[in-house]
Amino acid sequence: MRVLTKAYLSRSRLLLWAKYSASSVIATVVSQVAFALCYWFGTAAIVASLVAWLSGAIPNYVLNRRWTWGRSGQKLPYTIIVVGSAVMAAVVTSVTDHLVQPIESHAWQTLLVTGSYLATYAVLFIVKFVLFDRLVFAKTVSDPAEVRTPVAT
């Protein structure tokens, strides 16, 4: 029985990870396109980051809530996590934008600053999964019998 439970948990965790990854890929594509277009057309890096974050955060929340975890999450922790991510991306892209100003090619500047935006979210990918899983979409125990320590047989 214990092996079956471990296999089920592993399979369910793998499916959860796959759904989270797919949701993140969709949000990332939307967000990256928004960032690249904003920056290419002369929007400041910090503003482009915020526009891109907003364009990706909406589908990401809906997909994670309805498809990945299948339940409504706690909104305050979710907001803190995603706003914190947005602030980090805005800082990283602003610093990168400052560093690439000596480069004369606008295409290279756009590529490098857009890459820094993507890299920020790549680094946060696993951290956000853990925080979403443990804080935002954590299962609540409604039956005290579920938290009892099993008796050895």
Tell me what pLDDT residue 145 has.
47
Residue 1: what pLDDT? 47
- Segment 134-153 mean pLDDT: 60
Q: Are 27 and 117 in contact (CB under 8 A)?
A: no
Q: Which pLDDT band holds residue 78 (cuts at 50, 70, 90)? A: confident
Q: Which residue has the tokens 């480069």?
A: 103
| Per-residue pLDDT tens over the stretch 92-140 | 999 999 999 999 999 999 999 999 999 999 999 999 988 988 888 877 6
End-to-end CA distance of the chain: 12
**DSSP symbols for 22-86:** HHHHHHHHHHHHHHHHHHHTT--HHHHHHHHHHHHHHHHHHHIIIIIS-S---HHHHHHHHHHHH
More confidently predicted of 112 and 13: 112
Residue 45 has pLDDT above 50, yes or no: yes
The pLDDT of residue 5 is 56
Q: Name which residue leads in pLDDT, 69 or 44.
A: 44
Query: What pTM was estimated for this model as a whole?
Result: 0.74
Q: What is the mean pLDDT of the chain?
A: 85
52-56, 58-62, 83-87: segment of lowest average pLDDT:
58-62
The pLDDT score that the predictor gives to residue 6 is 60
pLDDT of residue 146: 45
C-beta of residue 26 within 8 angstroms of C-beta of residue 63: yes
